[in-house]
Amino acid sequence: MTCTLIKHGMIYDGSGAPGFEGDILIEDGKIVKIAPNIEADGARIINGSGKAVTPGFVDIHRHCDIAPFIHPHFGEIELAQGITTTFVGNCGLAPVPSVPQWRKDLYDYLEPVIGKVPENLVFETYKDYCNSLDGADLPINMGFFAASDSIKVALKGFGNKAYTEEELAKAQEYVKRGLEQGAFGVTLGIMYQPECYSNKEELAAVVRAASGQGGLVCTHIRGEGDSLVESVEEVIDVAARGGVSLNISHLKATGIKNWNQKIFEAIDKIEKARKKGQDVTADFYPYDGGSTTLQSLLPPTVMEDSIEALVNNLSKPEGKEYLRSELNKLHQGWDNMAHSIGWNRILVSSVNLEKNGFMQGQTIGALAEKLGYEEPSDLVADLIAEEKGKVGIIVLSMSQEDVDTVARLPFTMLISDSLYGGDGKNAHPRLFGTTARFLNDFVLKRRVLSFEQAIHKMTGMPASRMGIKDRGLLKEGYQADVLVFKPETFLDHADYTGKHDLCTGMELVLIGGETAFENGVLINRSRGKLLRKSLS
């Protein structure tokens, strides 16, 4: 029997209750006792004096779908932040399901988000994906969602036509197969192609396949700027019609003119739905800039049925002229980021071609001027065409006051929304530092939240939302996913300039009672496991 005893720590159990000093006894991977002055002969003793002892952090939104297979530092990045459990398949985007006809288009489209999928990784079904994760060394626990946008690509490619009745039935079947393999729900990516062409009726029909058994839909809404309020109303209605619980991904208000206004209107819609008994929550990340793909800047009217067709169109003078004219218009239900925040608040974060590496970390506006473009949209067209769409961007689109407002809500939890595309040189800092930034900036420096509130939003709340019954809390009988650290020395070191050092100060991470990470060193790369949601 393996036995570990954490002594004299300040225990924050993840429930939101204030911390208390005590000991934690761990045997065979589980917490067996929490009390003062525990004694256990032969136990490994960990000195928790002057340190916080918390549950492992649960990040329900990272795009590390293929990172266990390709990313050399997967595990180090996450465990340095205290993340012991994460979930993938978010924003409707996942490498599964895939079919031969559309696989390359799907994987090319996803590359700025999840990274380049090697040719030998073929995930045709959820069973294929789960088998691959089961056979991989997982440094942290992983759960997954059935991604509706990728399902639509598998059935229709990137076209703008609605499902036929037969296709809709197949989409529902895909969702059911995902749930049977252990998916924790379904995600929508209504901002992204091809799901941006779906209406409420179609979306509701797809998520209805997850109703019952605690069905949950997590969604990237259609618009987060001018159309924020209408987009929130849309997904509330979709979830109600589909008979599922709703979590709104990365709730925020983008666009300078919308700051300190639209977010309150959106929150009002959510609170009214909750008062009527609808199960609605949201999540957020602790930064004022977001991260996405360059293609997301293109109006739906410009998008094509395939990457090849889009590249061909944007390579022609008339294609560039059409993009320019469409970006000078407002489109119903679509956020024109170039118009709402301007080209000088949009940074290139990742490219595929070495010769374009100098662009990383620079704004579209600055690059256009430097390279002699009269219209920044022409640079966007050339870059998408040259890179075959594989470009990541950072959009400095939010106000800190709005982020703080969302963080304070009793129904919101922390996520990172980390992207794993590109070479990481200019990745969004949330990939490397989300949890430490949250505690350091929102708690210790600015006191937006108390320490126990913040820990709850990173542990007990997300674990409960996912329906995990034995993680997220320090509680007798629970899995011993435990962190030990000094809050004042747990620091993030990544920023928008391209600095991407790991967090420091996470002294000890236990997963299942065994050491996974200690004082900056990854100790065990295989402590995690694939988590599955039970349908029973």
What confidence tens digit (pLDDT) does each residue in 201-234 have? 999 999 999 998 778 999 999 999 999 999 999 9
Is the domain of 117 the same as that of 223? yes
Question: What integer is the mean pLDDT of 305-317?
Answer: 88
Residues 128 and 253 in one domain: yes
DSSP summary character for residue 262: H
Quick one: DSSP state of residue 76?
H
283 shares its domain with 314? no
For residue 472, how many C-alpha atoms fall within 13 Å in the half-sphere facing its CB?
A: 23
Question: Is residue 69 domain-shared with residue 216, that is, in the same domain?
Answer: yes
Lowest mean pLDDT among 363-372, 387-396, 434-443: 387-396
> Which CATH number do you get for residue 201?
3.20.20.140
* Residues 79 and 509 sit within 8 Å (Cβ to Cβ): yes
Phi-psi category of residue 137: left, alpha or beta, with phi > 0 → left and psi -120 to 50 → alpha:
beta
Considering the chain, what is the average pLDDT of its residues?
A: 94
> In this structure, are 278 and 153 located in the same domain?
yes
Q: Which residues pair with 23 in a beta bridge?
A: 35
> Is residue 493 included in any domain, yes or no?
no
Written as six digits, the tokens of 427 are 């990745």
User: Is the distance from CB of 83 to CB of 152 less than 8 angstroms?
Assistant: no
How many angstroms from the chain centroid is the CA of residue 165? 31
- Please say which residue of 426, 452, 471 terminates a domain: 471
Q: Report the alpha-carbon distance of residue 171 to residue 531 in Å, rounded.
A: 23
Quick one: 94 and 239 in the same domain?
A: yes
pLDDT score of 377? 94
Q: Looking at the domain assignment, is residue 519 inside a domain?
A: no
214 contacts 182 by C-beta, under 8 angstroms: no
Q: Contact at 8 Å (CB) between 200 and 241? A: yes
- Per residue in 482-505, pLDDT (tens digit) is 999 999 999 999 988 777 899 999
The model carries a pTM of 0.92
Answer yes or no: is pLDDT of 60 > 70: yes
Q: Which of 419, 449, 471 is the last residue of a domain?
A: 471
Residue 485: which residues within 8 A CB-CB, separation 6 or more? 51, 52, 82, 505, 506, 507, 508
Task: Based on the fold, state whether residues 254 and 315 are members of the same structural domain.
Answer: no
Torsion of CA 187, 188, 191, 194, to 10 degrees: 120
| Residue 235 resides in a domain | yes
Q: What is the total count of domains within the chain?
A: 2
Both structure tokens of 472: 């997220």
Quick one: pLDDT band at residue 426, thresholds 50, 70, 90? low
Asked if residue 91 and residue 159 are part of one domain, the reply reads yes
Same domain, residue pair 316 and 282: no
What are the strands, taking DSSP E only, across 12-125?
20-27, 30-35, 44-47, 52-55, 57-59, 83-88
CA distance to 19, 36, 424, 471, 519, per residue, from 8 (Å): 12, 8, 39, 22, 19
Residue owning tokens 């290139």:
348
Classify residue 212: in a domain, yes or no: yes
Of 433, 451, 471, at which residue does a domain stop? 471
Q: Residue 498 domain-assigned?
A: no
Domain match, 117 and 239 both? yes
**298 and 441: one domain?**
no
The answer to whether position 515 is within a domain reads no
- Shared-domain flag, residues 269 and 306: no
Domain that holds residue 76: 57-289+398-471
Residue 424 has pLDDT above 70, yes or no: no
Asked if the structure places residue 361 within a domain, the reply is yes
Q: Which two tokens stand for residue 169?
A: 């039935």
306 against 433, higher pLDDT: 433
Is 39 contained in some domain?
no
Which residue is associated with the tokens 């932040």?
Answer: 81
